[in-house]
Structure 1
Amino acid sequence: MPLLAESAARPKVLVPEKLSPDGLALLKTTLEVDERRGLSPDELLKIIPDYQALLVRSETKVTAEVLQAGKNLKVVGRAGVGVDNVDVAAATKLGIVVINSPSGNVGAAAEHTIALMMSMARNIPDGCASLKGGKWERSRLVGVEVNGKTLGIIGLGKVGLIVARLAKGLGMKVNAVDPYASPAVAESASVNLLPSLSALLPTVDFLTIHTPLIASTKGMISSTEIAQMKKGARVLNVARGGTFDEVALLEALESGHLAGAAIDVFTSEPPVADSSAAKLIAHPRVVATPHLGASTVEAQENVSIDVCEQVLQILGGALPRSAVNAPLILPEEYKKLQPFVHLVEKMGSLYTQHYTSAASAANRNTFDLIYEGEISGINNTKPLFAALIKGLIGPISSTAGVNVNIVNAELIARERGIVINEQFSRDPTSHSYSSLITLVARPPSRASSRPPPGAASAAQPTKTAPEQQQIISGTCSQSQPLISRLGRFATSFVPEGTLLICHNYDSPGKIGVVGSILGKESVNINFMGVAAVSKSLLEQEKSVAVGEGKAQLGEAYEPEKEALMILGVDKTVEENVVQALVQEGGVLSASVVSL
């Protein structure tokens, strides 16, 4: 299975708000799309268990209760930038990916900011209403020019940067504050970065804010900050309601300290009657619009198509690229990581199914995940970590409807006491593969120890008895996962379907005996591979055996005669058949693995 769990054929997507026809058309190619506008909260709760994806704009409230009820939900898509209406923390605990479209409407928001600024500076809404009312009030509606004025920008992100460039085109000076902004990017846009908000506020004639609404930005422009601004300055908010203290803003307009405000977003939308937001809208020196920052034909189309493409990719098993509750995967890493995500999940599942049937596997919860060669150059290994956790616990434990993925893998690992130590070696692998990943399970008594760094030493087991060696290595060949080592055996097989892995002495007729037993039970063999003991690994084992004494391993122990038979079969092999292979077929042990 891919990192994000697969759904049944034609997964269902609920769309309770208006999305562009082109975006919906993308979804309808492979998904069942259910457009249900105007749902009440109770109606949403009732039907959400039937859906794998939920696509919203800003009206639908995706609460923790809704997410908990969505037993099959894999992804919540927000067609826009902000996710204020989605309980992201609850989604994270449940392993539900929350995606947005961070770039689709940035141009529209920036243009709306400039449009509001010009409307406020030149009294355009008031002038239009006056003229339509039969008046001609040129002297009352004298405005101010923006050329030569200073625009202050709080938040020099994607929107803020476009606003800055547009303002420079109007002949404005632009000062900004943003602790995370690149000085080089600001310089290239001719923006003067200032060290603090208190340094910015006294310099501006117009102030605009372009930050998300988080704890540190809620009410960040209040009475104290407004008092630091010039008398007669003007402010704009096309970001998020709540970044401006609406009560303080109303007082500053009433007192005349601020000459005007242009507001597109409010603390409550639509504003409640007699609230501070409603009073601001009614104020004569306020230009107000009903959250139109992203409301252009082009922006609506862009965000809808973007979020629909992401939903398709995630439900198809791909890694999210704009998830707000998952690490960012850079485009150049995305293509390289995807096949290895598949590989590592298979390795984890193979480990659990093949090794945990042995008593020696009990209580092993500490693992080394070793990256060798090109794969070690990947900066973001979170998807690989998550894939391993999912593979390890998937065959033996129910997660009660929770998806194990990059969103919640670390949380689940902590809850279950699983420790993963990641190691990296950029040296070429010792197996002629361009990339190699090795999984080493630690014996309980050595859980606190770590193998030495480096490719060769990292892949070698600690000096323990041969039956304690629980190591799986794998690589990818043209995006196809391959297992190259299983314990002390060098092999090469694709970890797919139902596999029967037989540990036996390699003697004449063994294959025929195994085939005969399976044939009697109507088990068809699709493919077969035989893996002999690796000579290099055998030398390591012999040195261990000498150190621990032959008596411990048995005088008749002849590891060079051992082999693995790896059979791809067409159905699950029942326990009685496995017992027959051991008792009648002379197999030392056998495990059935479903991948």
Structure 2
Amino acid sequence: MANGLEMKVIATDPYASPEIAEANNVALVPTLPAVLASCDFLTIHTPLIASTRGMISKAELASMKKGSRILNVARGGMIDEAALLEALESGHIAGAGIDVFTTEPPAADGTAAKLLAHPRVVATPHLGASTIEAQENVALDVCDQVLEILRGGLPRAAVNAPIILPEEYRKLQPFVKLVEKMGDLYTQHYKQPHQTFDLIYEGEIANITNTKPLYASLIRGLTKGISAPAGVNIVNASLVAKERGIVIHEQHSRDPVVHTYSSLVTLRARLARLPSRQPSQDRSVAPFVMTATPTDDHIISGFCSDSAVYISRLGRFSTSFIPQGTLLICHNYDSPGKIGAVGSLLGKVGVNIGFMSVAPLTFDMGGDVENEALMILGLDREVGDVELKQLMAGEGIFSVVQVTL
């Protein structure tokens, strides 16, 4: 409303986000005295705690401009009522708007009663949230938000978490699901100790500064099934990460996304340099002979299309699949018969294949892109250990991993 009246709005709040303040045309100042010395209208919007009780006393009122006005619609006790009455009587404060008092209802012979009767005071009952309609709507809103959080959504009005603007909320919502799936997929697929990760945002999502919900979703995904607490959220995610020795480096890339989708998220794990293996690049050598590879990073990339989430890169392979249900990820030598062999074995044990994606090597990895491939199969149920061992025993099969997302 103040912006609509072309008023210049200043505020002091140690917990306010500078980005959100700027988006709402609010100029943050560091201290309360700075606000008092500048304002023509002072409004109070804080809880009543030890540090805010009596925060506007005789000295604070004297520091305000002559002819300024004050509104307290937060809690009684924040303004020294006797000092306010004195400032109104002297004309230093031109007027006051009050709907809360130190004692409610005010005593008939007290200072509050004199304020109520003062010609420069506009007073209303303290019942803005006490109507039947208001209480019903508040209850419904709280229930809606609790359900949204329990479904893995974002908190819209948490009292102990950063505020998320509605537009940012809409943009982040599908990526919350994507990043959690990426973390869960990493833990199940690579099965290696995870410590340090880069979480890279590209495209439109890189312009969102408050990505704490994505950070929390990654921690939730990485710790799922590993003695994780009942709920990882934007309030406790940093603590959970610290307890498990997980370090996340968030990066906002300004480079344009060279794909058909507008945003891309990449999870890259930084591992201690360990001997790793890859298929021989020489087709004259048996495909199951392994040689050292120079890269130690494990990479998963993904994007969102409408409400659906997709994995577009898994390790060194380009792919496109929806990370849900039971997936069989088969790393194999790229030669005729491999798909048929895997499908035949699964068919014999009564496992149905819902979809299959064959992922080639990404060109930026170099080497012979026809030498190896990755099969991702969506199954209608989990495969037993015996069948997994049989698949792994096949010639030219480098690894077989089953994940459930």
Output the CA distance in 2 between the equivalents of 1:436 and 1:367.
16
The unaligned stretches of length 5 or more in structure 1 are 1-157, 166-173, 187-193, 272-276, 447-463, 540-557
Output the CA distance in 2 between the equivalents of 1:380 and 1:349.
22
Shift of 1:419: 1.4
Output the CA distance in 2 between the equivalents of 1:278 and 1:465.
82
Shift of 1:437: 1.7
Say which SS state the counterpart of residue 321 (structure 1) adopts.
Answer: coil
Output the CA distance in 2 between the equivalents of 1:320 and 1:391.
18
Rate the CA distance shift 1:561–1:349 in 2: closer, same or farther, 3 A. Answer: same
Rate the CA distance shift 1:280–1:427 in 2: closer, same or farther, 3 A. Answer: farther
In the alignment, structure 1 residue 384 sits paired with structure 2 residue 214: yes
Shift of 1:251: 8.5
Residue of structure 1 equivalent to 2:52: 217
Rate the CA distance shift 1:258–1:498 in 2: closer, same or farther, 3 A. Answer: farther
Rate the CA distance shift 1:250–1:308 in 2: closer, same or farther, 3 A. Answer: same
In the alignment, structure 1 residue 337 sits paired with structure 2 residue 167: no
Q: Give yes or no for contact 1:234–1:258 (8 Å, CA) kept in 2.
A: no
Rate the CA distance shift 1:284–1:570 in 2: closer, same or farther, 3 A. Answer: closer
Shift of 1:346: 1.0
Rate the CA distance shift 1:198–1:504 in 2: closer, same or farther, 3 A. Answer: closer
1:482 to 280, 304, 310: 310
Q: Give yes or no for contact 1:218–1:244 (8 Å, CA) kept in 2.
A: yes
Which stretch shifts more, 486-495 or 390-399? 390-399
Pairing of 1:329-408 with structure 2 (within 5 A): 329-356=164-191, 361-362=192-193, 364-399=194-229, 401=230, 403-408=231-236
List per-residue Cα deviations over 1:320-376 (Å, max 9, x = no partner). Answer: 3222222222222222222222211111111111001xxxx33x3111112222322
Output the CA distance in 2 between the equivalents of 1:368 and 1:520.
42
In the alignment, structure 1 residue 589 sits paired with structure 2 residue 399: yes
Q: Match for 1:369: what amino acid? A: L
Q: Give yes or no for contact 2:302–2:311 (8 Å, CA) kept in 1.
A: yes
Q: TM-score when scaled to structure 2?
A: 0.73
Q: Give yes or no for contact 1:211–1:217 (8 Å, CA) kept in 2.
A: no
Q: Give yes or no for contact 1:527–1:568 (8 Å, CA) kept in 2.
A: yes
Q: Please state which structure has a larger fraction of its residues in helix.
A: 1
Pairing of 1:484-503 with structure 2 (within 5 A): 484-503=312-331
Say which SS state the counterpart of residue 366 (structure 2) adopts.
Answer: helix
Shift of 1:559: 7.4
Q: Please state which structure has a larger fraction of its residues in strand.
A: 2
Output the CA distance in 2 between the equivalents of 1:301 and 1:386.
31
Shift of 1:234: 10
Rate the CA distance shift 1:321–1:334 in 2: closer, same or farther, 3 A. Answer: same
Q: Give yes or no for contact 1:475–1:483 (8 Å, CA) kept in 2.
A: yes
1:416 to 226, 244, 247: 244
Q: Match for 1:408: what amino acid? A: N
Shift of 1:573: 2.2
Q: Match for 2:267: what amino acid? A: L
Output the CA distance in 2 between the equivalents of 1:226 and 1:409.
42
In the alignment, structure 1 residue 425 sits paired with structure 2 residue 253: yes
List per-residue Cα deviations over 1:417-464 (Å, max 9, x = no partner). Answer: 211122233333344543222111112259xxxxxxxxxxxxxxxxx8
Residue of structure 1 equivalent to 2:75: 240
More relative contact order, 1 or 2 (CA 8 Å, 6+ apart): 1
Q: Give yes or no for contact 1:488–1:538 (8 Å, CA) kept in 2.
A: no
Shift of 1:495: 0.7
2:382 to 558, 572, 582: 572
Rate the CA distance shift 1:465–1:261 in 2: closer, same or farther, 3 A. Answer: same
Output the CA distance in 1 between the equivalents of 2:9 and 2:112.
28
Output the CA distance in 2 between the equivalents of 1:199 and 1:536.
58
Say which SS state the counterpart of residue 402 (structure 2) adopts.
Answer: strand
Q: Give yes or no for contact 1:469–1:488 (8 Å, CA) kept in 2.
A: no
Residue of structure 2 equivalent to 1:526: 354
Pairing of 1:1-40 with structure 2 (within 5 A): none
Query: How many residue pairs get matched?
Result: 363
Output the CA distance in 2 between the equivalents of 1:437 and 1:576.
36
Output the CA distance in 1 between the equivalents of 2:372 and 2:25.
63
RMSD: 4.3
Sequence identity (%): 57
Say which SS state the counterpart of residue 468 (structure 1) adopts.
Answer: coil
Rate the CA distance shift 1:507–1:383 in 2: closer, same or farther, 3 A. Answer: same
